[in-house]
Amino acid sequence: MSQFGKVWVRLSENPKRGDLVEVRAMVMHPMESGFRLDNVGHPFPRHIVTAFACAYGGSEVFRVKLYPAISTNPYFVFYVVATESADLLFTWTDDRGEVATHNVHLNVA
């Protein structure tokens, strides 16, 4: 079963063409590092988000490769130049092949 939970995304409001848009994105995910032990000393199996990407108007503008040192519920803030009114498509992929996606329309004045 997918361990992906709620997605949270915020963008700078009312950007004009050429403005810098601040993008903040988070997804709920345990990010079990594989280094944590249970009460009899066995490690909890690793289960992490390995990739996060953002596409703007169909072309990729941001990509992260994640390792176990990224905290639970991975959060990223980054920037993109507003060029056109288009969709931002966010995609998270974990090491069990589960995928979470989220779409936000960016309106550019």
Partner 1 sequence: MRPAAATPEELAAALRETFGDRPISPGRIKLEIPRLAENGNIVPVAIAVDSPMTAEDYVQSIHLFAERNPLPRILEVELGPHNGRARVGTRIRLAVSQQVRAVAVMSDGTLWSTAADVEVTVGGCDP
**Contact mark string toward partner 1, 47..76, x via CB under 8 A:** ---------x--x-xxxxxxxxxxxx-xxx
The amino acid sitting at 73 is: N
CA 71 – CA 78 distance, rounded (Å): 17
CA 62 – CA 79 distance, rounded (Å): 9
**Is 99 near partner 1 (CB under 8 A)?**
no
| Beta pairing partners, 74 | none
CB of 101 to partner 1, least distance (A): 19
Q: Which residue ranges make up the site for partner 1 (CB under 8 A)?
A: 20, 33, 35-37, 43, 56, 59, 61-72, 74-81, 83
